[in-house]
């Protein structure tokens, strides 16, 4: 979704768990929490504060990670990752490279279009063109809670042209004429992430034509009516090294004002408010004493460990690959904040499993850690056993430390099914991919996926996976299994 600058990758979010609370505290005699022992029943004690902080970190990590990306993409024009202001589509006639660091495990399969929506004043109307049969595209609608609240595209709505409405949590209007479907975001800010399939480098002009057909406009413009009053200007907290001083819970506190609590959130929201975070709070989190902040720091580290463990344990292991389902709408999570946090940390903005399934591995078939500095590897798909998909599949290489794409001499970050005509098949009809840091030689270079000089993180993407046998669905229980990564002896 790196140990680079804050806000640029997963490493930035790790800072939240290691240094986010290293800021001056108020005197303990003025600390609202410390007063609990003196009879103020509204404030929890120090150990309860720790427990709430751990639960709050797990609950809030995806929200804060999303805010950091939104700030880089739609707010801070100097971020180096800026795309476009709110409610304007940014089409990118390229795929992601090692230079893209705002999102961990970035997809380099499909050129992206981005639309960050401010839904406070009125809904947005999204129009898509007719896309030729055989070209996969998808518009993933994701809100500030990292809920996938809707899809437009090949699987969900077909490749025909259509007009759709995206509304914020406060909109109560009727579906206007000409609108095919209304999607409801649970937060005031939301993201529409467009993926348009690219077949090869020469195909980019065709992708650009499709992208040119993506339109977005406020509902008032679509109806040719006067626009409502503009929403209040927001002073967005900056995402940079200052985050270490201002703290994780300050970002969460800010983001929650744009996310009305759902029924399943009321309990955790009440707990957070009791320690000064979110709507309904009686004091500011920054007013906690140094003693409480020390316990909160420990709690955040424990929360992060819990997320990491859950991410590992809740995935089915098949030939060393982990396969799970970590993304969905509000009903999918149903208050399982650990599941949501694990998905965000594994790769924020992942698709629902029916849209795309993601086998991933850091180990070979024998369970040994993948390391490009120690071994060369192969992955071999037997004849007739390529990934079963309705759209296409890919295998993408990431740095095992940062979960970012790696710089390499042939500028190749993945091997996917559109590349099959250029790949060399084995005599028995199988397909072998060469996973190594150095070229396997000219004869094999067509099948080479360059690896880092260190830990390796491999992710398969199976777009629109088939549901009939053989299938990878449900994750880890289908009849198709990804082949193991094998260390070359």
Identify whether 78 is part of a domain: no
Tokens matching residue 48: 């309860």
On the 0-12 / 13-18 / 19+ scale of CB atoms within 10 A, 135 is middle
Identify whether 424 is part of a domain: yes
The Cα 321–Cα 261 span in angstroms is: 36
The Cα 195–Cα 207 span in angstroms is: 10
Query: Residue 355: pLDDT above 60?
Result: yes
Query: Residue 206: pLDDT above 70?
Result: yes
Are 36 and 178 within one domain?
Answer: no
Lowest pLDDT segment from 136-145, 167-176, 272-281, 474-483:
474-483
Q: What is the pLDDT of residue 201?
A: 87
Residue range 28-45: mean pLDDT, rounded: 48
Alpha-carbon torsion (266, 267, 268, 269), positive or negative: positive
Whether residue 474 has a cis bond before it, omega within 30° of 0:
yes
Tokens matching residue 360: 């991933």
Q: What is the pLDDT of residue 242?
A: 53
Query: Residue 35: pLDDT above 60?
Result: no
Residue range 276-288: mean pLDDT, rounded: 88
Are 380 and 409 within one domain?
Answer: yes
On the 0-12 / 13-18 / 19+ scale of CB atoms within 10 A, 126 is buried
Q: What is the pLDDT of residue 203?
A: 95
Q: What percent of the chain has pLDDT over 70?
A: 90
Q: Give the residue from 183, 199, 223 where a domain finishes.
A: 223
pLDDT digits (tens, 9 = 90+) for 366-413: 999 999 999 999 999 999 999 999 999 999 999 999 999 999 999 999
Q: Give the residue from 314, 343, 362 where a domain finishes.
A: 314
Are 411 and 283 within one domain?
Answer: no
Q: What is the pLDDT of residue 321?
A: 95
Residue range 462-468: mean pLDDT, rounded: 95
Are 415 and 308 within one domain?
Answer: no
Band (239; pLDDT cuts 50, 70, 90): confident
Are 476 and 370 within one domain?
Answer: yes
Are 333 and 468 within one domain?
Answer: yes
Are 464 and 337 within one domain?
Answer: yes
Query: Residue 29: pLDDT above 50?
Result: no
Identify whether 364 is part of a domain: yes
Instruction: Give the domain extent around 107.
Output: 90-223
Query: Residue 26: pLDDT above 80?
Result: no
Are 125 and 260 within one domain?
Answer: no
Residue range 454-464: mean pLDDT, rounded: 97
Q: Which residue has the higher pLDDT, 331 or 280?
A: 331
User: Could you tell me if 394 and 388 are in contact, meaning their C-beta atoms sit under 8 angstroms apart?
Assistant: no
Residue range 52-76: mean pLDDT, rounded: 96
Residue range 342-363: mean pLDDT, rounded: 93
Identify whether 76 is part of a domain: no
Question: What is the three-class DSSP state of 28?
Answer: helix
CATH number at residue 384: 2.60.120.600
pLDDT digits (tens, 9 = 90+) for 86-144: 999 999 999 999 999 888 899 899 999 999 999 999 999 999 999 999 999 999 999 99
> Could you tell me the pTM of the whole model?
0.87
Contacts of 287 (CB under 8 A, 6+ apart): 25, 26, 30, 31, 32, 276
Are 341 and 466 within one domain?
Answer: yes
Which spans in 353-474 are helix H?
none
pLDDT digits (tens, 9 = 90+) for 298-325: 999 999 999 999 988 888 899 999 998 9
Are 39 and 138 within one domain?
Answer: no
Instruction: For 125, list phi and psi in degrees, rounded to 5.
Output: -110, 125
Average pLDDT along the chain:
89
The Cα 111–Cα 136 span in angstroms is: 12
Query: Residue 265: pLDDT above 50?
Result: yes
């Amino acid at each position: 979704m790196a140990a680079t600058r804050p806000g640029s990758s997963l490493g930035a979010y790790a800072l939240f768990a290691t240094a986010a609370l290293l800021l001056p505290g108020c005197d303990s005699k003025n600390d609202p929490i410390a007063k609990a022992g003196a009879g103020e029943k509204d404030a929890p004690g120090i150990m309860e504060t720790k427990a709430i902080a751990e639960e709050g970190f797990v609950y809030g990590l995806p929200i804060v990670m999303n805010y950091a990306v939104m700030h880089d993409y739609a707010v801070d024009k100097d971020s180096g990752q800026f795309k476009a202001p709110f409610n304007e589509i940014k089409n990118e006639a390229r795929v992601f490279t090692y230079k893209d660091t705002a999102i961990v495990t970035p997809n380099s399969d499909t050129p992206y279009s981005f639309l960050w929506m401010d839904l406070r004043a009125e809904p947005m109307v999204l129009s898509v063109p007719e896309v030729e049969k055989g070209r996969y595209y998808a518009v993933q609608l994701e809100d500030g809670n990292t809920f996938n609240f809707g899809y437009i595209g090949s699987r969900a709505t077909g490749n025909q042209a259509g007009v759709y409405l995206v509304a914020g949590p406060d909109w109560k209007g009727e579906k206007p004429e000409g609108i095919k479907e209304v999607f409801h975001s649970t937060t005031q800010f939301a993201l529409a992430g467009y993926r348009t399939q690219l077949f090869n480098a020469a195909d980019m002009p065709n992708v650009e034509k499709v992208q040119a057909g993506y339109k977005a406009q406020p509902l008032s413009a679509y109806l040719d009516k006067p626009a409502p009053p503009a929403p209040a200007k927001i002073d967005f907290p900056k995402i940079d090294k200052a985050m270490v001083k201002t703290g994780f819970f300050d970002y969460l506190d800010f983001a929650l004002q744009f996310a009305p609590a759902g029924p399943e959130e009321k309990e955790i929201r009440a707990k957070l408010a009791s320690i000064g975070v979110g709507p309904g709070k009686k004091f500011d989190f920054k007013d906690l004493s140094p003693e409480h902040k020390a316990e909160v720091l420990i709690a955040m580290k424990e929360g992060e460990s819990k997320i990491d463990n859950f991410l590992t344990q809740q995935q089915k292991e098949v030939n060393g690959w982990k396969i799970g389902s970590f993304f969905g709408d509000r009903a999918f999570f149903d208050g399982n904040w650990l599941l949501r946090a694990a998905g965000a940390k594994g790769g924020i903005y992942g698709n629902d499993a029916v849209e795309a399934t993601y086998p991933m591995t850091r180990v070979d078939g024998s369970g040994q850690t993948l390391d490009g500095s120690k071994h060369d590897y192969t992955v071999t798909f037997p004849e007739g056993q390529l990934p079963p998909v309705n759209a296409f599949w890919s295998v993408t290489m990431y740095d095992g430390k940062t979960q970012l794409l790696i710089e390499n001499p042939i500028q190749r970050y993945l091997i996917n099914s559109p590349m099959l005509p250029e790949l060399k098949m084995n005599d028995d009809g199988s397909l072998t991919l060469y996973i190594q840091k150095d070229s396997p030689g000219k004869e094999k270079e067509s099948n080479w996926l360059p690896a880092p000089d260190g830990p390796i993180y491999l992710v398969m993407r199976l777009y629109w996976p088939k549901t009939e046998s053989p299938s990878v669905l449900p994750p880890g229980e289908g009849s198709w299994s990804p082949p193991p990564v094998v260390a070359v002896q």
